[in-house]
Amino acid sequence: MQTTLKKSTTFLLSITAIIFTAFVVGQTWANASEASLNDDLSKKIHHLNELKMKQQFPAKMMNTLNEALAEGGWFTKLDYSGTNLSAAGFARSNDQVAQFLTTLKKPGGILYNGMLLSSTKFSEGGRDKFFFRANFSCKTASAGKNSKKKVNDKVLANLERGLAKKNDVRGIVEKIEAMLSDSQLKITQWTSAPSLSRSVYGEISQKVDLQGNYHNLTSFFNNLARMDKVVTINELYVESQSLTEGDFTVTARFIFSLFIKDMGE
């Protein structure tokens, strides 16, 4: 009788241990699964916030450069790619060149690590001017994830409203084309381009060549920054031209990317 009771007790303890172990393992898996989902949500939210910042960067860059260069100065070339910007232009004095760089070194700016490569004096019509070249680093994204921001499905869903649907792509591209026309910019070439970013969403990229002037180009980027759909500028090259074609004082080339939520569905 005691042997039978002892066996029954041992059996019950074994069953209890198995159930407890299964519960602990199941809870661990559940916690790991929840952590994985939260990490995935966090990555997507962070990614979409980064894309939105990148969408706004060209407008901020053009406005910042224009405000930093004193009256009487102008740019002859801008070459932006990823996190780097090369700029060249003319100023009325070396002091203006120095002030230009100092202004862009203010804390919290989107352009930093400014480096003057050269400043050369020219005389024309009895007046001096200085041709300068400089390089900058670009702050197109936040320094890191902000853990204080909410991470949940509603936050992600709200951000994903900025993503296009496959059926809407043509209309959005046509809207961008109309924005260029409204900004008095003349498109000289429009072709497809390979995607340059590593997005978790679908992406369609286009390369645009155009003619216009600095002011109108800045106006276009300001309008693009306000679009409710995520459209980023990955590369931008601007070069001044002679005044042989009326109002077209610069040529520009950029690659833009449109991001799509249901690309793979």
Beta bridge partners of 77: 88, 239
How far apart are the C-alpha atoms of 188 and 20, rounded to whole Å?
71
Count H helices and E strands in the chain, helices first.
5, 8
Which phi and psi (to 5°) does residue 211 adopt? Answer: -125, 150
For 19, other C-beta atoms within 10 Å of its C-beta total: 10
What's the CATH number of domain 2-136+153-260, 3.40.50.300, 3.90.550.10, 3.90.1150.10, 3.30.70.60?
Answer: 3.30.70.60
* Spatial CA neighbour of 258 closest among 157, 179, 173, 183: 173
The pLDDT value given to residue 194: 85
pLDDT attached to residue 8: 57
136, 81 contact by CB (below 8 A): no
47 vs 221, residue with greater confidence: 221
Q: Is the model's pLDDT at 246 over the cut of 50?
A: yes
Mean pLDDT of 70-83: 92
**The one-letter amino acid at 157:** A
Q: Confidence class of residue 81 from pLDDT cuts 50, 70 and 90? A: very high
Q: Say how many C-beta atoms besides its own lie within 10 A of residue 6's C-beta.
A: 10
- Separation between Cα atoms, residue 49 and residue 38, nearest integer Å: 16
Beta bridge partners of 131: 90, 120
Q: Which residues contact 3 (CB under 8 A, 6 or more apart)?
A: none
In single-letter form, the type of residue at position 175 comes to K
Q: Give the position of tokens 């074609």.
A: 245
